[in-house]
Amino acid sequence: MSIKVSVIIPVYNAEKYLAQCIESLLSQALQDCEFIFINDGSKDDSCKIIEDYKEKDPRIILINQENRGVSIARNNGLQIASGEYIGFVDADDYIEMDMYATLYHSAKLSDCDVVISNFENEIDGHKVMTKYPFPLNINLNNDYINQEILPYFIKSDNLNTACNKLYKNKIIIENSIKFPEKLSLGEDGMFNMIFFSQATTTKYIDYTGYHYREVEGSATRNISKKDYFERALEVYQFELPEQIVGHLDKEKIHQFKAVRLIKSVLSYIHVYFSPSNEVSFKTRYEYIKNMISNQIVREALPTYCELHQNTLGKYEKFLLNMVKKKSTMGLYCVTAYSRLRNR
């Protein structure tokens, strides 16, 4: 069987949702797939669950490794992937049965290097759809990638995930593209930027087949163990590879990074001021106080305000004004009021 799509699934202590994930993969309408599970040193029954399914379906491949993180797990999967195209799924998530058929046929229709789709986010039972401002169902060429898509990656987070895309494996192999193993956050975005900088065509389709579930311990939710702001600074200060920098003006890169950092800060204000049983209010209050006083944030703030002065709503303007004044209490009051209004 010629493999059309190799799907790479890193797994770490995912037993609660893993069966649903596997079932959604095995039920794909596109049959010519291989499913490469990398068990990243799980201490629960994740490995056994995969082994049980592996006995029933030969398309499942299992790699066991010591706990080394999602980037190394995915890179190990890439080394053995034989598919014409590559997809990624996280073990907590699940996909629609027509997802890879839809993305694959869209890619093949116009010999496209990478296809982008929407995804659905489930947070505390609420579902949020993520879409993008790109032209639909047409091949977007190298100029569009350089002028619109690469900048979008640098200034925003919501395109970063590798899970709502399908990548031509030939591009990955010929350019030795890997997930960065020294980044603790933003590894998906860096992989995407490197891939898109080498791609000649991409396509965005208005299709939603990927369901992302934010669970306790997810990278975006686990505030008691993960220092999000430190990681945002890490992404801000990370030197982009030359193959990306060569496509963009350095001053523009600086502006895009500033926009992304301030967007992250505004997001973390909401995250850390949301009620939490794991982290005391005093700790969260001090965290935000230190974040908005950080020198790099103070330097990036004017750039963000200048670029967005004509598009900001009243609420965001008030938030930014409180950040400018370093008013942590003001930020607490306005976010608390926002939560009450949105109940």
Q: How does DSSP assign 37-78, residue by residue?
A: EEEES-SSSHHHHHHHHHHH-TTEEEEEE-S--HHHHHHHHH
Length of the chain: 343
Cβ atoms of 93 and 22 closer than 8 Å: no
Pairing of strands 126-130, 94-95: unpaired
Token digits for 189? Answer: 């975005």
Q: What is the pLDDT along the chain (343 residues), one digit of tens a residue?
A: 699 999 999 999 999 999 999 999 999 999 999 999 999 999 999 999 999 999 999 999 999 999 999 999 999 999 999 999 999 999 999 999 999 999 999 999 999 999 999 999 976 667 899 999 999 999 999 999 999 999 999 888 899 999 999 999 999 999 999 998 876 667 898 899 999 999 999 999 999 999 998 765 444 455 656 788 988 898 888 888 777 777 778 888 899 999 999 999 999 999 899 887 788 899 999 999 999 999 999 999 999 999 888 888 889 999 999 999 999 999 999 898 887 776 6
How far apart are the C-alpha atoms of 310 and 313, rounded to whole Å? 9
CA-nearest of 17, 51, 14, 54 to 34 is 54
How far apart are the C-alpha atoms of 326 and 289, rounded to whole Å? 7
How far apart are the C-alpha atoms of 308 and 301, rounded to whole Å? 11
Phi-psi bin for 323: left (phi > 0), alpha (psi -120 to 50), beta?
alpha
pTM score, whole prediction: 0.86
CA distances to 115, 328, 335 from 285, in Å: 42, 7, 12
Q: Residue 28, Cβ neighbours under 10 Å: how many? A: 23
**271-280 CB contacts, 8 Å cutoff, 24+ apart:** 271/223, 271/228, 272/223, 273/331, 273/332, 273/335, 273/336, 274/339, 276/223, 276/224, 278/223, 278/224, 279/223, 279/224
Token digits for 197? Answer: 């900088």
